[in-house]
Structure 1
C-alpha cells in the first residue's frame, strides 16, 4: 500500500512540475468539494528555447474532483508565443522531431491525459503546437492549435 501511495505522489508531483498555474475561474458551484473550474497554466517548450505555451483546461470539482478521482472533460485551448530569440535543435530543424510530446497532464486517475505535441513547418519557419486528449480505449477529436512564427528578436 505504501508503494502505491509513493508512486501516486511521484506521478502527481512530476505532473505538477510540467506546468505553472497562472490562474483559474470557477464555472460551477459545488456544495461539497472544490468548484468546477477552468485552469490556465503556462509551460515552456523543453526542447525549444524561448517558446512559452499557455493552456486552459476544464478541471472537475466536487468530492471526486477534490480526491483526484474525477475525469476531466477533453475541453482545452492553447496559445503559444515566442518570448525571446528562438533556438531550434538540428533534430527539430531537420524535421526529425515531428509530433514530439512537449506537455502531458493527467485528466483522470489512470487512463486519460491531455497532451501537447510540436511540429515544425520548415516552409513557413513556424512551430505548430497541437493540444488533444487521449484515453487508453478512445480519445476525443476535440483539439486546439497554436502557431508560433519564428521571428528575429532584437533586444
Structure 2
C-alpha cells in the first residue's frame, strides 16, 4: 500500500475513534438522512464550581464529507447556554477584559477550533461566556453568548472578590 494512502487511513481511523464516546456528550440529534448531527456537550467551568455550560455544534457525517469533498473541516456554527447549578465557588480566574479560554475542540485537521472563553464583567458582577470559532486566517463572526449574573447567588471567591469597576457609560449596572 502506498505510504500516503496508509497515512490517510490511519488519520481517518484516529478521527473516528476520537469522535466516539465523548463522556461530556449530553445528546445528539440527527438533522438529515446523511447522518449529520447536532451534538450537545456539558462543560463544567474548570475554575468555577457551580457553573455548567451546554454547548451545541454541528458534526458532519462520513457521507457528507464524501459528497462535499472537504474531509477535514466541520462548520463553525455553535450555540451556548450557561447557568448556575448550585452554590458558586470562584477560583483563580482572569479579570482582564480578554478573559480566558475554558474549552477548545478542533473543527478541522489543523487550522480551525471551536472555543469557549470566559470573561468577568466586574461592572455588572457577571460571568460572560462566548463560544466562537478561531482560525489562522479569515476569522468567523459566528458566535454565541451566555451570561451568568452573580448578584443574588450564593457566591464564594477563593481569592477575595474583585473590586467592582464603574459601569461603562451607556451600560446598565444591576444591583
Quickly name the TM-score band, shorter chain normalised. 0.7 to 0.9
Task: Pick one of 24, 27, 48 that aligns with 1:23.
Answer: 27
1:113 aligns with 2:117: no
Which structure 2 residues correspond to residues 54-73 of structure 1 after superposition, within 5 A?
54-63=54-63, 69-73=71-75
2:86 alignment partner in structure 1:
84
Determine if contact 1:38/1:58 at 8 Å carries over to the other structure: yes
Following the alignment from structure 2 to structure 1, what is the Cα–Cα distance between the partners of residues 99 and 143?
14
Give every structure 1 segment of 4 or more consecutive aligned residues whose post-TM-superposition deviation is greater than 4 Å.
Answer: 63-66
1:152 alignment partner in structure 2:
153
Q: Tell me how far 1:153 sits from its aligned partner.
A: 3.5
Following the alignment from structure 1 to structure 2, what is the Cα–Cα distance between the partners of residues 139 and 91?
26
1:137 aligns with 2:121: no
Unaligned 5+ segments in structure 2 are 4-9, 156-175
Which structure has the larger Rg?
2
Following the alignment from structure 2 to structure 1, what is the Cα–Cα distance between the partners of residues 47 and 132?
20
TM-score (norm 1): 0.76
Q: Which has the higher strand share?
A: 1
Go from structure 1 to structure 2 and tell me whether the alpha carbon gap of 1:70 and 1:64 turns closer, same or farther (over 3 Å shift).
farther
Unaligned 5+ segments in structure 1 are none
Determine if contact 1:64/1:70 at 8 Å carries over to the other structure: no
2:158 alignment partner in structure 1:
none
The CA RMSD measured in Å over matched residues stands at 3.3
Determine if contact 2:37/2:58 at 8 Å carries over to the other structure: yes
Q: Tell me how far 1:63 sits from its aligned partner.
A: 4.2
Q: Tell me how far 1:86 sits from its aligned partner.
A: 1.2
Following the alignment from structure 1 to structure 2, what is the Cα–Cα distance between the partners of residues 28 and 64?
10
Following the alignment from structure 1 to structure 2, what is the Cα–Cα distance between the partners of residues 101 and 142?
17
